[in-house]
Amino acid sequence: MKMQTKIIASLLCLSALPLANAQEFEDNARVLRVVPRTEQVNQPRQECRTVYVPVQQERSAAGAIIGGIAGGILGNQVGRGTGRAVATGVGAVAGAMVGDNLDNRDRPPAGQVAQQECRMVDSWQARATGYEVTYSYGGRSFTTVLPFDPGRHVRVRVSVLPVQ
């Protein structure tokens, strides 16, 4: 090996000596305070409700017209003079009612139809992002953020190095 390489290797070994004397261990520290850290998160959701809408059914007038004409013709066949005019009117009205009933008997009556109305609404929720933990060790206080609540004690790694 060259002399320069030996010198560089020796210097590296000497500079690592303080690190070789370092000691590291784990211990418990007393927790002084835990504050949850949260953020507000929007999770929109669908909200639906049932609405009743009035529905008007279309009725046909053809039955009433044809029935009125037929009833008027039949009523006109009865009686004389003023009685004939009254019979024609009564026959026309009765014929219109019968014709309308016959023509529209299969149509459902007017009513209400249920409809579903939906919309998106905001749903804000607090989500934990971590815990700000203040703990005491060796007469000093430290603060860190952890992903969990440590409870009354927290494990800490202690590193002891000699002073140079």
74 shares its domain with 115: yes
Is residue 22 a contact partner of residue 144, using CB atoms and an 8 Å limit? no
97, 83: one domain: yes
pLDDT above 90: percentage of residues in the chain: 40
- Residue 68 contacts residue 101 (beta carbons within 8 Å): no
Residue 15 has pLDDT above 70, yes or no: no
Do residues 126 and 36 touch, judged by C-beta distance below 8 A? no
Q: How far is CA 117 from CA 55, 121, 122, in A?
A: 17, 13, 17
**Start-end of H helices in the chain:** 3-20, 62-76, 82-104
Total domains present in the chain: 2
| pLDDT-based confidence at residue 5 (cuts at 50, 70, 90) | low
102 and 136 share a domain?
no
The residue-averaged pLDDT of 39-47 equals 93
Same domain, 53 and 70: yes
| Tens-digit pLDDT profile for residues 51-96 | 888 877 777 788 788 887 887 788 778 767 777 777 788 888 888 8
- pLDDT-derived band at 9 (thresholds 50, 70, 90) equals low
- Asked if residue 23 and residue 52 are part of one domain, the reply reads no
| pLDDT of 18 over the 70 cut | no
- pLDDT value of residue 23: 84
Based on the fold, state whether residues 36 and 52 are members of the same structural domain. Answer: no
Q: Which range of residues forms the domain containing residue 103?
A: 46-120
The pLDDT value recorded for residue 110 is: 66
What pLDDT, on a 0 to 100 scale, did the predictor assign at position 156?
94
Task: Share the mean pLDDT of the chain.
Answer: 82
Tens of pLDDT along 102-160?
A: 877 777 666 778 889 999 999 999 888 999 999 999 999 999 999 999 999 999 999 88
99/82 same-domain check:
yes
Same structural domain for residues 114 and 148? no
